[in-house]
Amino acid sequence: MAEPIVSLMDPEFTHDPIGAYGRLRENSPLVRIGNPGAPPVWLVTRCDDVKAALSDPRFVTDYSNVPGHHGLGVVDQMLAVYDLPEEFREEFRGYANNMMFVDGKDHARLRRLVTPAFAVRRIKALRPGMEEISAQLLDTLAAKEGGDLLEEYSSPLTGTVICELIGIDKADQPHMRKLMNDYANGDVVSSAQGMVECAKELIARRRIEPAEDMISTLVRTRDESGDQLSEAEMIAMVLLLVWAGHHSTSHFIPNAVLTLFDHPEQLERLRAAPEFLPHAIDELMRLANPVPLASPRYATEDVEFAGVQVRRGEALTGSYLSANYDPRVFPDPERCDLGREMKRGQGHVSFGAGPHYCVGAALAKLESEVALGDLLLNRDGLELAVKREELEYTDSTLGVHLLARLPVRLK
């Protein structure tokens, strides 16, 4: 008997995603999901199972690593959606095939080479610049007594931080941030082409004039065997930072603000003990994560996983939202508790798990800490400019709807 296939485009996932995922999670640890025209995918719904799936070497991110594979993996599926010029398609495939979509030794090599660019001291050194950018953006908002927190604060903040981390020269940052916004607004092809050209120019410049930035580090970093990143791999890292770093954090910040507005007693608790903010970020990451799903994994063999038979070549993905609200791990999961204590290894999965755990997690946490500190602790005049039920969301996909804007008043 065939498994029933659930569509995450059903209205219940728009109107009550937490409840809808909760019903799936309690029904089965794995659920078949799909949309017309696409093959069904196994959705992992429970927190411990999501972590296990993301750490299991029998599941790979590169479909070509499946023995006897046929059809398209995730990168080729993405490229098939866009009408890329023929001369750019194959070139762009190399850029899209970044750390997220390679496995085993290839992934370990890339991660080893890029890790120095995300060293703790390098991330911490960004803090003064983040604080300056944040203060300037908030002063501008306060001067006109409010605006859209997403468009006028979190997006320019995270976009500028990513530019600074990469090493984009200040004169070129407005152009790069425009490309980032164009990409987020659906102009994928031309914005991606523009970002590739910017990255190429920057790499060439930093080979001649190195600086204290990520590109310079990637250019000069070699491992013990003398290996180093190719230009295509460095460009892929730039694009990955934009796709997975900038946009996710720019949406997390307004989500977290809204979560604290929805739990005013927790906001007051935080204001009474502002030094508690770094710890509070983890609970907010659990509740307000804007990333719905892990990137697909493919079974390299027939696998019995969580009591369900997964056949070789079948795709599997983990629901971060469902996992983060799993009562098996998080008692009373819909309650915001900034003092929630979790045992080591039992935290949220908003940064993934296993070998592909987000390399930029420390950067995202620092950005969030600076932003929420400035918005809610250093100033106490931030409030919604519309009623809670009047907030607008973008078109829902995969059961998660992102804020289209967050109108606020600020004195």
d(CA 335, CA 388): 18
* 141-197 confidence digits (pLDDT tens): 999 999 999 999 999 999 999 999 899 999 999 999 999 888 877 777 788 889 999
Indicate the SS3 state at residue 84.
coil
Which residues lie below 8 Å from residue 57, measured CB to CB, with a gap of 6+? 104
pLDDT at residue 266, as a whole number = 96
What are the boundaries of each domain within the chain?
5-409
Helix pair 247-262, 264-272: axis angle to 10 deg: 100
Strand order across the beta sheet in which 383-384 lies: 147-148, 407-409, 383-384
What is the architecture of the domain spanning 5-409?
A: Orthogonal Bundle (1.10)
Tell whether the model's pLDDT for residue 216 goes beyond 70. yes
Token couple for 163 = 């530019």
pLDDT tens string 330-342? 999 999 999 998 8
What would the mean pLDDT of 66-95 be, rounded to a whole number? 66
Question: How many angstroms from the chain centroid is the CA of residue 117?
Answer: 18
The answer to whether the beta carbons of residues 135 and 96 sit under 8 Å apart is: no
pTM: 0.91
Band of the pLDDT at 1, cuts 50, 70, 90? very low
What does the buried/exposed string (b/e) look like for 99-131 if buried means 16 or more CB atoms within 10 Å of the residue's CB? bbbbbeeebebbbebbeebbeeebbeebeeebe
> What is the token pair recorded at 120?
């703790």
- How far is the C-alpha of 134 from the C-alpha of 372, rounded, in Å? 10
Residue with tokens 């390399």: 359
Give residue-wise pLDDT tens across range 354-368: 999 999 999 999 999
Distance CA 123, CA 275 (A): 20
- Give yes or no for a contact between 289 and 275, defined as CB atoms under 8 angstroms apart: no
User: CB under 8 Å to 313, separation ≥6 — which residues?
Assistant: 63, 66, 68, 69, 70, 298, 299
pLDDT at 346: 84
CB 45 within 8 A of CB 31: yes
- Residue range 8-26: mean pLDDT, rounded: 88
- Per-residue pLDDT, averaged over 375-402, amounts to 84
- Report which of residues 321 and 241 the model is more confident about: 321
pLDDT band at 284 (very low <50, low <70, confident <90, very high): very high
Alpha-carbon separation of residue 209 from 81, 194, 216, 220, 309 (angstroms): 38, 22, 9, 12, 55
**Residue 81's pLDDT is what?**
59
Closest CA to 280 of 377, 356, 136: 377
Q: Note the pLDDT tens digit of each residue in 246-281.
A: 888 999 999 999 999 999 999 999 999 999 999 999
pLDDT mean over 284-300: 93
Confidence at residue 385, expressed as pLDDT on a 0 to 100 scale: 96
201, containing H or E segment: helix 188-208
Query: How confident is the model at residue 342, as a pLDDT?
Result: 84
| pLDDT for the residue numbered 87 | 63
